[in-house]
Amino acid sequence: MIQNKISEAALETLDLLSLAPLNNILEFDIKPFLYQELILKEKDFRQQIKDFNFEPFRHKIVAVFCSVDAIVPVWAFMIIAHFLENVHAESYFGDKETIVNQIILNRITTLKSENYQDKRVVVKGCGHLALNPEVYMAITQFLKPVAKSIFYGEPCSTVPIFKKQINF
């Protein structure tokens, strides 16, 4: 009889991408608001932002960034954050990938540690989006005090990361 050791191992799979709202993140690039894509003219910028339709960003997560190498004063980001707040958007500085990583890091702190108490946890590693190593470090720091063991990868092919030592 063939034994399925994977199903018998009682592994808890943790997919970090499940913590990310991948479909609800929109990007706001400052580039179109720059004069010749180089500089920001305050008067023109303020008028363009005032006239801009922020409605598509309503209740969304917004990644605010500048895709060209230009000097953008900090107050410009503050103004954009103000207008995004008016449509109840949650704004972050950076591109979409940076924001996904930041949101996952924030959400790791809200996980309930008792859900992983004394369990063998596999942190899923192969996804459609590459996550920053910082995210994997944070989940390891979160799980280590409570998990029985931590693995990286897929249940059928894991890399052992940590195993709690039993002291008598």
- Rounded to 5°, the CA angle 143-18-137 comes to 35
Q: What mean pLDDT is predicted for residues 139-144?
A: 96
Q: How far apart are CA 147 and CA 165, in angstroms?
A: 11
In angstroms, the CA 94 to CA 97 distance is: 8
CA 72 distance to own-chain centroid: 24
6 pLDDT tier (thresholds 50, 70, 90):
very low
Q: Is 97 exposed, middle or buried (0-12, 13-18, 19+ CB in 10 A)?
A: middle
At residue 167 the predicted structure's pLDDT band, cuts being 50, 70 and 90, is low
Q: Is the pLDDT of residue 57 over 50?
A: yes
Instruction: Kindly state the average pLDDT of the residues 24-32.
Output: 93
pLDDT value, residue 130: 79
Find out whether 108 and 78 touch, Cβ atoms under 8 Å: no
Checking if the pLDDT of 145 tops 90, the result is yes
Confidence of residue 166 (pLDDT cuts 50, 70, 90): low
For residue 103, name the pLDDT band (cuts at 50, 70, 90). Answer: very high
Q: Rounded to whole angstroms, how far apart are CA atoms 129 and 20?
A: 10
Over residues 104-135, the pLDDT tens digits come to 999 999 999 999 999 999 999 777 777 899 99
Write the DSSP assignment of the chain as a string of letters. ----HHHHTTEEEE-GGGGS-GGGEEEEESGGGSBTTTB--HHHHHHHHHHS--GGGTT-EEEEE-SSS----HHHHHHHHHHHHHTT-EEEES-HHHHHHHHHHHHHTTS-GGGGTT-EEEEE---SSPPPHHHHHHHHHHHTTT-SEEEEEETTEEEEEEEPPPP-
Whole-number pLDDT of residue 1: 54
Res. 2 pLDDT band, cuts 50 70 90: very low
Which tokens belong to 1? 């009889």
**Predicted confidence band at 155 (pLDDT cuts at 50, 70, 90)?**
confident
Average predicted confidence (pLDDT) for the chain: 89
Q: What is the pTM of this model?
A: 0.76
pLDDT of residue 86 exceeding 90, the answer is: yes
